[in-house]
Structure 1
Amino acid sequence: MKNIKNNLKLSNLLLKSFNLLKKIQKEIQKDFQTFKFKDEIEFKFESESFKDSLKKNFFTLLMLSTFIEAEIKKERMISYGKIIIYLRQIVTSTDNVIDNEKKGLIFIKSLKNDVVKNTFITLFCQDALTKETLKVSEGDSLASIKILEKIYSIAISESLRDISQYKEYPTSDYILKNIHNGIGGELLEISLEIPKYIEEDSKMNSYSKGLYEIGMALQALDDFFDIDEDEEQGKVNLLASKILYEKQETEALKLAYLNEVIENAYTGFKKLEDTGFPISKGGAKKIMKKLFELRGLKDYIDILK
């Protein structure tokens, strides 16, 4: 009975977050109308259904739902939501340069060179991020410093992925501590850095810790799916390290690896539940099933328990 109530409450929270996200997107579009090159700015804020948004923006909606659950004032929730989107775009634009991709939510149509385009969008979003942070923090410059320091920490972890800088392949402990810590845990947790600082709410601290654990699990899941791609691109990979150093049959090791990923994710969701957020292990299992599907791991869904 408790699980059913939690599922219904979570669905309602996510629906409210979806409606909030649409307002946030409109606010962003309105803010950028002040630029002379406003006609060159393209926003990929799809007019999609709630179901489609859950697939594309699940963790954004989850973060927004923590604001609603913590009863933060609507004006600040909108500011925090804008900060989340700017952070997403900064990370995506950086990845676009590293991986030669064209992903994102915000584009400048007149810029044809991809490196120039992504560099400008990063500057563009960083400026908007700083302005919004100063606005919601009422001019507290420490808030902007906290975000930049967190971005720096993530950048350090990203810079350690190039395998050519190592004499020997890094161990799994090294990868978790020095690489996944930034590109996994802190990358998901960073979205709550400003609300955690400004609200001074114990709930936000707990939500942040839960998101960190979930982020670590998601990066480990990505390493499972991307092991061949990472090898081709010369990037360090957690599963590859375990295969190299742990002497056991490969398929058994993969199953043990995924079971550990799942348990770590459940630990993160449990931190949310312990704070009063309406997510049970059953709900977390449904989310993990969807993540397995989205990452092309349908053959392994049966190990979820």
Structure 2
Amino acid sequence: MTLLNLRHLLPSVREHREVEKKVLLLLEETLEQGYLKPTRLPVNPLRYAQRNVFSILFLAIYQAIGIPAERRLLYGVINHAIRGIVTGTDNLLDDEYKEMLPLKFPEQATRFKSVMHILLFDRFLFRVMDEAVLQGMLDAEQRQLVQQKIFQAMVPIGGEEATEEGGVHDILSPEAILESVHVHKGGNLLRLAFVAPRMIEKDCFSALEEADQGIFRIGMALQVIDDLTDFYQDIVDRRHNYLVSSVRFEGTAVERQRLEELLTGAEGTQPVEGAFRESVERVMHRAVGEALAGFAQLEKAGFWLGNRDALRLIRYLFRLRGVGKLLSLWPADNCFVMTLEAGDDP
């Protein structure tokens, strides 16, 4: 399966290209040409869709709900600006560099370029809303309120990341991780895409509320899936991890002993699905069940993705996020009865 098998996504892929063109225009208007590298949008549509899967998904949801094209472009640019701010911040916190803007600064100047990403995308966020006021899409009071609400929604997400700087010393229960950690960097991170539409689109507010809750559940599920990928590294970095928690509080005696060895300095050499198979399978089933519940809410909101295609998309996301090998644990009957909600295990 590829993203482009879902033909309904193709219009949103094209819309996202328009979003990026707008962002590049804002960049050229903000920064002198000497600081910019030549750039062009990738011509491979599959690779482009893979790199922007959730940005494209948000645009498709907006379209399905009935948001007009001009405001979809506005929200797309807002989302891209938020994504750029988050990416620049993650670069600094994780000492890495993922590029979203073609900046012509020394290759080794990754911290400075990350700071520039944050500064530039923040300006784009304000610029695009100023233009929306001039075009009559929202009034000055709405602009100020949307800007304020986006910032207020971002702060707790960053605040959670701040609590993990320097490492954590306690392993929280699975329920506590969901309630105090993944609610921010999983569920609420994706919900940022619905802050502005929920404040502006009064004619489809109920559908947006349903979609907002659906995307929250998908975000929670994806963060848990990422924890499967990051299991060993999170132990080294002393970061919260749902699988680590599930092994500690719900794993077999053998799994718990293996975890204690890792926590006291042993090296993780076995694939996680081999060393902790029962816990990996349990966590994976909960995550997939949660994601399916989220996609069901999106369908209720008017999105066209049914259960069968949702299953295919989730399998695709496993491969995209580097845990495709775990698909060997996928049940043949595609039956997932567990979610991340307490009490849902059979």
Question: TM-score, length-normalised on structure 2?
Answer: 0.80
The structure whose Rg is larger is: 2
CA distance in structure 2 between the partners assigned to 1:226 and 1:88 by the alignment: 21
Partner residue in 1 for 2:42? 47
Residue of 305, 309, 321 corresponding to 1:295:
321
- Tell me the SS of whatever aligns to 1:160: helix
The answer to whether the aligner puts 1:195 opposite 2:190 as a matched pair is no
How many residue pairs get matched?
297
Partner residue in 2 for 1:236? 240
Note the alpha carbon deviations across 1:10-41, whole angstroms, 9 max, x for none: 93431110111111211222222223523423
Comparing 268-277 with 126-135, greater Cα deviation is found at 126-135
Alignment CA distance shift 1:54-1:247 (3 Å): same
Any gaps of 5 or more consecutive residues in structure 2? 133-137, 256-275, 335-346
Give the superposition deviation at 1:216. 0.3
The answer as to whether partners of 2:27 and 2:120 remain within 8 angstroms in 1 is no
Give the superposition deviation at 1:217. 0.2
Partner residue in 1 for 2:122? 126
Residue of 141, 152, 156 corresponding to 2:155:
152
Letter in 1 for 2:194: L
Letter in 2 for 1:124: L
Note the alpha carbon deviations across 1:64-89, whole angstroms, 9 max, x for none: 01121122222211111111111111
The answer as to whether partners of 1:160 and 1:179 remain within 8 angstroms in 2 is no
The answer to whether the aligner puts 1:14 opposite 2:9 as a matched pair is yes
The answer to whether the aligner puts 1:282 opposite 2:308 as a matched pair is yes
Partner residue in 1 for 2:229? 225
Q: How high is the sequence identity, in percent, across the aligned residues?
A: 25
Alignment CA distance shift 1:48-1:299 (3 Å): same
Alignment CA distance shift 1:292-1:246 (3 Å): same
CA distance in structure 1 between the partners assigned to 2:193 and 2:39 by the alignment: 20
Note the alpha carbon deviations across 1:23-60, whole angstroms, 9 max, x for none: 12112222222235234234866323332223221111
Residue of 70, 77, 80 corresponding to 2:72:
77
Note the alpha carbon deviations across 1:228-278, whole angstroms, 9 max, x for none: 111122211111111112242532121111000100000000001112211
CA distance in structure 2 between the partners assigned to 1:70 and 1:12 by the alignment: 17
Give the superposition deviation at 1:152. 0.3
Where has structure 1 moved over 6 Å in runs of 4 or more? none
Partner residue in 2 for 1:65? 60
Once the two structures are superposed, the pairs formed by residues 65-144 of structure 1 within 5 Å of their partners are 65-110=60-105, 112-136=108-132, 137-139=138-140, 140=142, 141-144=144-147
Letter in 1 for 2:191: E
Alignment CA distance shift 1:265-1:39 (3 Å): same
The answer as to whether partners of 2:227 and 2:242 remain within 8 angstroms in 1 is yes
Comparing 251-260 with 155-164, greater Cα deviation is found at 155-164
Partner residue in 1 for 2:295? 269
Letter in 2 for 1:252: E
Residue of 22, 25, 34 corresponding to 1:27:
22
Any gaps of 5 or more consecutive residues in structure 1? 1-6
Backbone CA RMSD of aligned residues? 2.2
- Tell me the SS of whatever aligns to 1:108: coil
The answer as to whether partners of 1:32 and 1:38 remain within 8 angstroms in 2 is no
Higher helix proportion (structure 1 or 2): 1
Comparing 215-224 with 201-210, greater Cα deviation is found at 201-210
Letter in 2 for 1:59: F
Comparing 221-230 with 17-26, greater Cα deviation is found at 17-26
CA distance in structure 2 between the partners assigned to 1:173 and 1:272 by the alignment: 24
CA distance in structure 1 between the partners assigned to 2:208 and 2:38 by the alignment: 30
Letter in 2 for 1:131: R
The answer as to whether partners of 2:164 and 2:239 remain within 8 angstroms in 1 is yes
The answer as to whether partners of 1:133 and 1:194 remain within 8 angstroms in 2 is no
